[in-house]
Amino acid sequence: MSEVMVDSVVASSDFKLETIVDAVRRAVGTPNGVLGLHEPVFAGNEIAYLEECIKSTFVSSVGPFVDRFERMLEQVTGAKRAVAVVNGTAALHACFRLAGVEPGDEVISPALTFIATTNAIAYCGATPHFVDSSLETLGMDARALAVRLDAIAQRTATGTINRETGRRIAAISPMHTFGHPVALDEIAAIAHEWGIALVEDAAESLGSTYKGHAVGSQARLAALSFNGNKIVTTGGGGAILTNDEELGRRAKHLTTTAKLPHKWAFVHDEIGFNYRLPNLNAALGCAQLEQLDGFLASKRQLAAAYERVFAGVPGVRFSREPAGTTSNYWLNAVLLDEAHAERRDDVLTALNEAGFGARPAWTLMHRLPMFAQSPRGDLSTAESIERRLINLPSSASIRPRDE
């Protein structure tokens, strides 16, 4: 019997579902009911601000909380301009439009992502082009991106085209998976080399940093999400971040039905989008942003507890923040060894039956029927991650146990 086969047999004998469930229990205790994957925390001025908003009667898309929320986002992220919108998908759609993505173009994105990334590309009439992910970051792999572009891309007078399809490659959109920042410098350098716009999908990563800078703060265009399951929520909601003042002005115009300012006249100068964030939602967001530092601290404590309890569990590895970054650990994740990938659903069943709301990674985008014919490079790492990854309960309200 070969050495590899012996290792596999030993690993298989040590791999036990009860050991994994016990590790989670040692980190967070025994749940009373079901411990959700990621639940919001309302422990600040939420009720006071919502009451103030309601009493003002400005509950729709105009009101002081919208302006305040945008200024707070600028302060938190360091971006020069934040434009609040109704959700993260709308933010991404607007970012792609602002980046010049047009019908018939291609946008390079990871196959391992939430469908909002890919839907936003399709909303522009463009085609997603999938590349592989990194085991270290779980996000877009810079090396895979470079290899793919070298294989299929060509610079022309009108931009970089895909030689195999004849379509222009209009943008590259990395996503910070579960809050772990991708290798932004490397990806940005590749985008610059090929003359392709970079649109940063930071929907999951508010509070994460890359080399000391908040993700989304260095990009020409980035998108945030404030869905109910995000680290900060407005109920629904998103934002566009940019360091280009003119792009910021245009983002506000485009997402406000492209209406020209006037005291009473309704004049619109292009096809715009009614993507405005209501003042009511912004009021909730202001109260949430005031608590961001506390949320981040709690989530990092929880991540440290998970990392500690899984350190000695055979066949399982905790996904920790990449070097040179700080992650908001939006969703904590463990990866089963490849030898145990076929046990993923057994682990999910055992955890959920024990009251832990664990979930798998998303189905890879190229497996979905509407994107099955989209161009793609080698996706072997993303496919491996999909087979093996399990997300664990990650709410900021969870208090880890002291062992």
CATH at 351? 3.90.1150.10
* In a domain? residue 193: yes
Alpha-carbon distance of 306 to 320, in angstroms, equals 10
Final residue belonging to a domain, choices 289, 308, 331:
289
Contacts from 53-61 at CB under 8 Å and sequence distance 24+?
53/279, 53/280, 53/283, 54/280, 56/279, 58/279, 59/278, 59/279, 59/280, 60/278, 60/279, 60/280, 61/256, 61/276, 61/277, 61/278, 61/279
Number of domains composing the chain: 2
Alpha-carbon distance of 73 to 281, in angstroms, equals 14
Residue 278 and residue 353 in one domain: no
| 71: CATH | 3.40.640.10
Residue 245 and residue 319 in one domain: no
CB neighbours of residue 351 within 10 Å = 22
Residue 75 and residue 212 in one domain: yes
Amino acid at 399: R
The pLDDT value given to residue 14? 81
* In a domain? residue 264: yes
SS3 236: coil
How far is the CA of 321 from the CAs of 230, 307, 333, in angstroms?
18, 11, 11
Final residue belonging to a domain, choices 263, 289, 315:
289
Residue 320 and residue 275 in one domain: no
SS3 257: coil
* In a domain? residue 398: no
Amino acid at 260: L
Residue 210 and residue 281 in one domain: yes
* In a domain? residue 152: yes
Strands 389-392 and 359-360: antiparallel
The pLDDT value given to residue 177? 98
Final residue belonging to a domain, choices 261, 289, 317:
289
Domain that holds residue 368: 3-39+292-392
The pLDDT value given to residue 13? 63
Amino acid at 334: V
Q: Which residues pair with 282 in a beta bridge?
A: none
Residue 351 and residue 325 in one domain: yes
The pLDDT value given to residue 403? 55
Place of tokens 């506390």: 294
Contact between 77 and 216 under an 8 Å Cβ cutoff? The reply is yes
SS3 361: coil
Residue 136 and residue 270 in one domain: yes
Residue 194 and residue 266 in one domain: yes
* In a domain? residue 402: no
Residue 72 and residue 26 in one domain: no
For residue 131, how far is the Cα from the chain centroid?
16
Residue 82 and residue 167 in one domain: yes
pLDDT of the chain along its 403 residues, tens only? Answer: 333 333 344 446 689 999 999 999 999 999 999 999 999 999 999 999 999 999 999 999 889 999 999 999 999 999 999 999 999 999 999 999 999 999 999 999 999 999 999 999 999 999 999 999 999 999 999 999 999 999 999 999 999 999 999 999 999 999 999 999 999 999 999 999 999 999 999 999 999 999 999 999 988 999 999 999 999 999 999 999 999 999 999 999 999 999 999 999 999 999 999 999 999 999 999 999 999 999 999 999 999 999 999 998 999 999 999 999 999 999 999 999 999 999 999 999 999 999 999 999 999 999 999 999 999 999 999 999 999 999 999 999 999 986 5
The pLDDT value given to residue 241? 98
* pTM summary value: 0.94
Residue 124 and residue 260 in one domain: yes
Contact between 76 and 211 under an 8 Å Cβ cutoff? The reply is no
Nearest to 147 by CA among 199, 94, 102, 108: 108
CB neighbours of residue 271 within 10 Å = 9
Nearest to 268 by CA among 284, 282, 255: 255
* In a domain? residue 329: yes
Alpha-carbon distance of 283 to 50, in angstroms, equals 6
Extract the tokens encoding 335: 């990866």
How far is the CA of 114 from the CAs of 89, 120, 265, 272, 383, in angstroms?
10, 11, 40, 25, 15
* In a domain? residue 403: no
* In a domain? residue 397: no
> SS3 helix, strand, coil % of the chain, rounded to 5?
40, 20, 40
Residue 71 and residue 205 in one domain: yes
